Structure 1
């Protein structure tokens, strides 16, 4: 293609700014959105992890299998983790990781930081890049108890002001003093082993993890903070996943069975270990979201292309005189194609340039809003993949639209077009092509709108479901306590509660963790020996009244229950039904001596639909968690909390200070994002489809202008013309709806396991509503182009067809 053709195409397009703006803006934004999602999919699903031998890295999941052969838990117990670490031989390198948080008390601001307790192989396994100093080495191996620390680049900059002499400093955390030996580089990519939302700020040796000495010896208590990653030995590279799982399971299960043989609760229970490639483990939670975004962006691109095809059809019709003149002076069909290709290529090139801007903005939006939910999102950038995809789309779309325009041209009829002055024998789009464009738009729009409506319904129900407890004006507080006897801790906390209750802004204080925090505990019934693994938490006598969680049977805890640590519990109505299906659970006893004294109404976790069995037991007076309710309209802030703490004991530190509404919003963020995104996609789909259908049907009406005028001249009414057009397009509408139904059916059959949670009879009205909306949209697209013919005198239609 020579520069002359490009120059001519530019000059021609310069005369049609609205056409250029429509094509470039529509395709630029749509392509930008698609390329943004494609790059995200590439990074998450295809791009190798930035670690050596990433194909040999595996995450190990610990499954506790009950006597009913059901998975009771998916987290390691501490002794099982350590046994695997010390006894396995499949992995040439293994890494242990425990995630927690802590307060750096040696800094004036006493900041809370996210901590990863790791074994020294972590730095070599993940090829950690250092800005200063070094990572952990053999001197920090398990049981060496060498108090050193490595900072992340952000922690170095934000907490230590980028001090170049930071390696000469130390920090204090939980009463221990750690010497700083290294700072990770700014471009170091952390493996998101604890989820996309966890960003490590400080690395400490494994020995100093916050698991208590008691829990380190408990074979039945699992902990979701424990993580195991190993690099498979090359000699086992040919082993299948079942073989690897079987070998690892044997290492742990046989030892565990011997350790719990004296516990009746674990009779006929077992341990199963399952491996998963590290890449699959990291991206597993985000795969569904990526595929949904891909489906949505591809659907929008298809609809946008159909709309742009209509514009190119109109543009080709408009250029028939110019094309006829070119043909008359000897231009071949190939030369005409090059002419069209130059103009189309310029438009698509401009659209791709705009798309790059949209991609850049899209990356920033995704990283800001979804950084805590989608793994590897920090790796998003304009890269070779996005550039290659842009070039490929540029070429494909340019050729597609150019060939569409060329197929409209009857080269041998162009001379007749010139002789007729462009009237009556111009370029036309066949009815078959028009029907295909209508049917494809209807099919795509119906399928996309229905999928988005279903997802919106599900997400909206989660967002608006009643929680069963109060969140307004309540703040959750976690304290970092000095390492002293439990009785002294209890005295300090009792004094702190009194100090807080004396504050004019505070209405009530409860010694308990936030409502969404539960641990998994095992219970055995006294009379029946039935075994239960249930979510439980410790609370005080003020908890239920503060949260307005109703006691529906029996009694609440008393102050004496808390003070004397009595063996009583309160169960929710779901657990009560399991304990006593045909009667009252009050008085039900367990083998540990605990008795049920009350039944409380169940709560819903934000963002989760299922209601689970739960129980509550008296909290220790030394419990380091508080709930603080403020008076209506009052705000008790972090600084005021710190002031109250320091007035009681200067050694008390604030670990977290977060409102219950903030916790709720965090847990609902994914559902809110889904609801907003699907609603926007549904509206955009309807809007683009409506414009596309209008463009096709308006063109069709203009082609039949003389026919319509003639029918009206001999007595046809407006409703007759509308009925005629509706009947002519009913077939295309029906085909489109049928195709959409088939597409949805294929999706359901192909992904039934994943979609079962969404499929129910309640979707039938939604599908009918979707079909109704698309049908109404199609009807409007048929009617609006006919209004000028119906409302104006017949002569206007006949004059325009001369």
Structure 2
């Protein structure tokens, strides 16, 4: 043991004399391994680590797919009464829970914050094994149809909104005119499954009875996309068996209630079970694998670079090594000395890597919590530490082994007699060529992949839209009452509020409707002429909606003031739906009908279909006249102007105290949030591209610098007998061009293998101009290679020839 300590002490003394080598190795390897450890921990969390819920392998999300036989992808949404029927009558789940997400204003606090809310039956927290900071969970006194106004708040809400009040269980909170008694505060350790939207944590939980879809309890023909059914299957019951037995339970009852509605003729319901793990994780596994592949490529490049530095370091130590060999040191003893030095460097590198990994966890939690699930659970764990130790040991042995392979033990003794001009330490030509090929191949693959992903992200971000969001903001109001006032009263208040807002100098116009970026509802319609049924997206809009949003009108007319005031039975459709109704002619004048009504809606206009940010296609859409009662508005502002929350709140208070400002945001912000994934992808891939090119450049420079140094006598001789500087440059470039081209060819084979092996997963990332992207990739790789060939050569061709001939600088 004392001998090993002596070797480490000796290695540290030697490294201190080469601070440049020490810092370069530790920073390069530490940074690379830090990123690797961060991504490895993330990948383990997303791919392998079980969810932190008891018996999570028996937890399932139940989906309700409703459509006719022609629907390839029927909408997955419950009808409210069908959901309740399933909840009360199923016999296959040990426990079940109903869940719905929303947002609401906490009006009992002075700052009236908007919180994410959740409405659940008591079994929800039992399924998750939830723990509490104080109080209790929901009980049977808060079960379905009990209407007991109590609430449970999250730990984060307790800290941020109530300043960690110790008397929280004595407080009450008010939402939408209903006052709830707080009965519990969830613990800090509770991890909420984000099955609705990644990064959207619920701030306060209410009993199911207070959800917003309760008025739909008799509407068998209306789908409720916001409702979720979760259950734990009984032991011995498989998911496939449960699907087969639950489908008739729901479908038969639903068919009985909609038998009188012609629209649903031929329709059916299929119950499907999705593992809870799949629902929570989504497509994050693919993201984890892509990140891991990119980081492993960087590790390989960094390894090649550091290996070259170690070999060069060994070459510098040829005289001390020769002395130890002459004194009787064996090959294994020399290896242990080299291992002590590489081990010490890897220890320092891993310590730095752990620090960088921790910083990486914080960055991911700050910027990726709305993209990747479970990011808030990231922390240093056993996997991180085991991977760190494994990397330290593996790379220490690899670098020591490569350094040992560079030593010609038999000729070390002769170096003492030849003043160090022997060949005791020399890297073989084949090894150097292998390093060049691997560097170029790995760099080309990584840069190509990153440029492809960057191009796709930028293409989505900059894709032109057939609508405008410039200088626009949207506001949404909440009613501070248990029941919404009659439409006539709301309409009068909203009309007065519009006048108040239009008095502001920065407001140009107002549309009393949600913005073009807000989600659409689902609606069922029947074509009166053909009898064909359609399920399409629908939105209520004001008479000036399309003009404000700059959505082109292709034929017909917009809604008139009379259509808005009297609720005329007219609609406007997009060109996608118009072509479905009338492939060879105009859709103007055609009529459609809701399935449970005799009303006839006449098409008066056709607008151009618009694709939402990050969408891949344009669905069929219809627009109907909006009355004056809704509490959402879109404001178009003067060029370069903005509106503050205080100004809107002041205008609302000047009209009525019954309303509170729910949200105020610019449409540019809304669009950027929709494109958050694309912005993140663009930033990440561009950073990885530059890091890859930098590491590849350093590596190629190191390899070719060593090769050039080995040929300095040859270079001096050529210059002495009359060769021009350009001739020498061409010679070095020509000698290395074959390996560089071989590296590029190897990258093509690797990319082809990836395509053939993962065709289904990669199709979404492929485009028609891959050849152009590949050429764009080769340009910086080629320039780096030329630079790496020329730069080490310049000191030999720019100095007197005698220096090269006598082997001194």
Shorter-chain TM-score bucket reads over 0.9
Deviation, 1:212, is 4.7
Q: Which moved more, 1:669-678 or 1:495-504?
A: 495-504
Equivalent residues in 2 for 1:171-190, closer than 5 Å: 171-190=173-192
Cα contact 1:478–1:625 (8 A) shared by 2: yes
Deviation, 1:71, is 1.2
Which residue of 1 is the match for residue 419 of structure 2? 421
Q: Which moved more, 1:517-526 or 1:748-757?
A: 748-757
For the residue of structure 1 that corresponds to 2:497, the secondary structure is helix
Cα contact 1:65–1:271 (8 A) shared by 2: yes
- Paired with 1:211 and 1:619, the residues of 2 have a C-alpha distance of 21
Normalising to structure 2: TM-score of the pair? 0.96
Cα contact 1:172–1:178 (8 A) shared by 2: yes
Normalising to structure 1: TM-score of the pair? 0.96
Cα contact 2:589–2:604 (8 A) shared by 1: yes
- Paired with 1:795 and 1:579, the residues of 2 have a C-alpha distance of 87
- Paired with 2:243 and 2:421, the residues of 1 have a C-alpha distance of 76
Deviation, 1:209, is 0.3
Which residue of 1 is the match for residue 606 of structure 2? 599
Which residue of 2 is the match for residue 316 of structure 1? 314
- Paired with 1:222 and 1:316, the residues of 2 have a C-alpha distance of 72
Q: Which moved more, 1:347-356 or 1:70-79?
A: 70-79
Deviation, 1:779, is 2.4
- Paired with 1:780 and 1:221, the residues of 2 have a C-alpha distance of 67
Which residue of 1 is the match for residue 232 of structure 2? 231
The counterpart of 1:326, out of the listed 305, 324, 327, is 324
For the residue of structure 2 that corresponds to 1:381, the secondary structure is coil
Unaligned segments of structure 2, at least 5 residues:
594-598
Q: Deviations over 1:534-571 (max 9, x none)?
A: 11100101212222222232111111111111111112
Q: 1:800 to 1:280 in 2, by over 3 A?
A: same
Cα contact 1:309–1:401 (8 A) shared by 2: yes
Q: Which moved more, 1:360-369 or 1:493-502?
A: 493-502
Equivalent residues in 2 for 1:508-587, closer than 5 Å: 508-516=509-517, 517-587=519-589
The counterpart of 1:449, out of the listed 447, 450, 462, is 447
Cα contact 2:553–2:608 (8 A) shared by 1: yes
- Paired with 2:95 and 2:684, the residues of 1 have a C-alpha distance of 42
Q: 1:595 to 1:400 in 2, by over 3 A?
A: same
Cα contact 1:304–1:688 (8 A) shared by 2: yes
Cα contact 1:64–1:269 (8 A) shared by 2: yes
- Paired with 2:463 and 2:785, the residues of 1 have a C-alpha distance of 35
- Paired with 2:749 and 2:75, the residues of 1 have a C-alpha distance of 40
Report whether the alignment pairs 1:713 with 2:714. no
Which residue of 2 is the match for residue 486 of structure 1? 487
Q: 1:219 to 1:726 in 2, by over 3 A?
A: farther
For the residue of structure 1 that corresponds to 2:647, the secondary structure is helix
The counterpart of 1:662, out of the listed 662, 669, 674, is 669
- Paired with 2:258 and 2:391, the residues of 1 have a C-alpha distance of 61
Report whether the alignment pairs 1:217 with 2:218. yes
Q: Which moved more, 1:729-738 or 1:33-42?
A: 729-738
CA RMSD between the two structures: 1.8
Equivalent residues in 2 for 1:39-188, closer than 5 Å: 39-188=41-190
For the residue of structure 1 that corresponds to 2:634, the secondary structure is strand
Deviation, 1:201, is 0.5
Report whether the alignment pairs 1:7 with 2:9. yes
Cα contact 1:705–1:801 (8 A) shared by 2: no
For the residue of structure 1 that corresponds to 2:184, the secondary structure is strand
Which residue of 1 is the match for residue 596 of structure 2? none
The counterpart of 2:698, out of the listed 678, 684, 691, is 691
Unaligned segments of structure 1, at least 5 residues:
none
- Paired with 1:275 and 1:563, the residues of 2 have a C-alpha distance of 46
Q: 1:285 to 1:78 in 2, by over 3 A?
A: farther
Which residue of 1 is the match for residue 378 of structure 2? 380
Q: Which moved more, 1:175-184 or 1:392-401?
A: 175-184
- Paired with 1:187 and 1:296, the residues of 2 have a C-alpha distance of 32
Q: 1:751 to 1:242 in 2, by over 3 A?
A: farther
Cα contact 1:462–1:609 (8 A) shared by 2: no
- Paired with 2:755 and 2:81, the residues of 1 have a C-alpha distance of 43
**Residues matched between the structures, number:** 798
Equivalent residues in 2 for 1:355-366, closer than 5 Å: 355-366=353-364
Deviation, 1:485, is 1.6
- Paired with 2:440 and 2:265, the residues of 1 have a C-alpha distance of 59
For the residue of structure 2 that corresponds to 1:450, the secondary structure is helix
Q: 1:748 to 1:264 in 2, by over 3 A?
A: farther
Deviation, 1:152, is 1.0
For the residue of structure 1 that corresponds to 2:654, the secondary structure is helix
- Paired with 2:224 and 2:286, the residues of 1 have a C-alpha distance of 26
Q: Deviations over 1:565-620 (max 9, x none)?
A: 11111122222232222222221211341111112223231222322222211112
Which residue of 2 is the match for residue 458 of structure 1? 456
Q: 1:735 to 1:259 in 2, by over 3 A?
A: farther
Q: Which moved more, 1:349-358 or 1:744-753?
A: 744-753
The counterpart of 1:267, out of the listed 265, 268, 272, is 265
